[in-house]
Structures are given as structure tokens and as C-alpha cells.
Chains A and B, each alone.
Chain A
Amino acid sequence: MSELTKNWIREFQDKETRHIYAENFLNTYIATQLKVLREDREWTQQQVAEETGMKQERISVLEDVNYESWTIKTLKRFARAFDLVLSIKFENFGTFLKDYDSFSRDNLKRLSFDKDPAFHPELSPKAVVARTGTGKMAQFARTVNTGSGTAVYSFRGDPAQAKFNFMYESTPTIDQLIITHPDEDHLTITVEDFIEANRDLAIAFWATRNVEEKEAA
């Protein structure tokens, strides 16, 4: 548990504290995601303004973590402009800890409908499972395409060996890998970091589908 989490567990016993934090992070999250979504599409603020029917100056104000007066109506306009679903939910405070911990540029990106593999199977990322000769590991490998840009691999065996057994091809639509182990905490890393960590490994690849077919056979 991080030092920050320890502090928050103590500080959040105070209701005023936890709600100020929650509101601050909500504002930070929305403003930052609007900017990340725009930049990921290589749009200017003027282009977002045209797509949302607002003025560029207004977009600039909204792309600021200090903006506090969000309305669902405004957020819906952005959802339509970016061709995304707006999701508004009440959550418990444990979710705050998770969301805060995973807050990063990569995790804020979302695919517009026309790039969403859930609706365009032909765009599904090609996940590749690598074997190092310890076929024992690979037989437990599986891929889950959640359609939201996250791939989940599960395996059994030595977690320290995991990075030697799984690898991705260039998969720009996947943001992160979550490697799970029954006895260990989840390990979440970005695809870029994962590839970087494994770049020097000369190993053979099998398409997940092929592995699964072989295993089925």
C-alpha cells in the first residue's frame, strides 16, 4: 500500500475531506480526458468547437482542471463530438483509489465508434502469445478482448517469468496489459512498457487463436 493511500485512509474518515477530493478528481479527470481525447484525434480546440457547437474560447475554459461547473448537457455534446458513450455512475470511494492510481494519458484514451473493435471485429487487435520453450506457461495463456482497449492475460506459474511468455505485436488500440496471477496482486503495465521490457528477447510467436486451436485439438 502506498504512502498516499495510507494517508487517505486516515484523512478520508473526514467527510468534508473525502468529498472535496472526489470533486477535485472529477474535475481533473474530465478536463484532462477532454484534452487527451482531442489530442489523440489530432484535433485543435477550434475543431472540437465546431463539432460541439461551442466557441473555441469555451473549449479552452473546459480543458482546465479548475473548471467546476460541469453539466450533463455539456458532457453529452462532447460525447457526441468524440463519438463516445457518456457514462455517469455513482461509485463507492474504493473506486476513487483505483481510478486515481490508474490515471494516465493512455488510460484516458477511448476509441470512437468507427474504431471500436466491439462493433468492427475486423479491427480487433492481433494479440500474440509468445513461447520461450516452456510450453507449460503458454498452455495457460489466454486473451480476452474486452472491446474497451484492455487486454487481460491470465496465467499460472511463476509471475516473474510472465514477461518472458507474453508479448504483443504493435497494437495501438490496446492501452494496457493486466497480468493476473492467482497468488499475486495484479500487475498493470502499458503495452509500450511491456514491449520495451521485452524488446531484446528473440522468441517465437503464435497467434492466440492458433494456440487456442492447437490446445483444443
Chain B
Amino acid sequence: MWKLFDYRDEKGNNLIARWTRKLQKPQRIKLRAKLDDLANFGPELPPGLLMKTEIEHVYKLKVQGNPKLRPMICFGLFFIKDVKTGTEKREEAITILVGAKEISWEFEPPQADVEAAIRRKKILADPNRRIPHERID
């Protein structure tokens, strides 16, 4: 089971939850279903769930529909210690960095992948810039 996190801004606002609430209901449900798949099955098994972007470490989650949702995500940013063995391993975590759509092969907002990389670095510098994913009805 992978842990999901949302990006939040310097004021503590969950920008992913805010973006999700603005979506139409069918798209919100589709997004939630894909995120459940991602958390439960991991990124490897279901083919086509994620796609690389042109930016290193940034992937887009593919959610079909009109419009096509393409939230930008990255994989676990931190190492966790196994209390039994004392060894460290990369956490099985996925952080949603930017809520985005893809319209005519362009991201909305523009350069969502670039912004995702910037936010990823902010989280690396301050782990409090991510919080456990908020499930939106």
C-alpha cells in the first residue's frame, strides 16, 4: 500500500484539495478511483496509469474524460528506517504536486510539470510542505 500526500503552500493551504473541489463530480470520482488504484496496486502493475513528463522525477497521472486530468506526481522523497533491521529504504509514497489538465496536448496550468519540479524541491527542503492526501467526495 503506497502512501499518498498532497502539496501545500507556505500558508498551509492544500492546493491539491482546492483544485480537486473545483472539478465536476464525474471527474472528481474518476480521479479518486485512479488514486486508489495507484495507492493499492503501486505504479508498476497497471500499465499506462502513469506517464513520464519531460521533467526529471515528475510523472503525470492519466485520468481520461473531458477534460483529461493530468495531476503531476513524484515518488517518495524520503528514506525511512526499518525498525527491525535498522536499514533505511526509500518510502513507498507518492506526492501529488500540481493539479493539472491536458487540453490539446498542452497542460493547464501551463508548464505544470516545471512547477511540479519546483514544488518537489520545496518539499525536499521542508517536509511539512506535504500532508497526507485529503480524500475529496
Residues of A within 8 A of B (CB): 4, 7, 11, 16-17, 20-21, 24-25, 28, 31-32, 35, 63-68, 100, 103-105
Contact = CB atoms under 8 A, between A and B. Distances in A.
Contacts of B10: none
B62 interface: yes
A20 B29 contact: yes
Contacts of A17: 29
A185 B63 CA distance: 35
Contact of B62 (A25, A35, A66): A66
Contacts of A20: 26, 29-30, 33
30 contacts: A4-B40, A16-B25, A16-B26, A16-B29, A20-B26, A20-B30, A21-B29, A24-B34, A24-B37, A25-B37, A28-B37, A28-B49, A31-B46, A31-B48, A32-B45, A32-B47, A35-B47, A63-B47, A63-B48, A64-B48, A65-B37, A65-B47, A65-B48, A66-B48, A66-B63, A67-B48, A68-B64, A100-B40, A103-B40, A104-B45
A197 to B, nearest CB: 15
Interface string B95-115: 000000000000000000000
Interface of B: 25-26, 29-30, 33-34, 36-37, 40-41, 45-49, 62-64, 135, 137
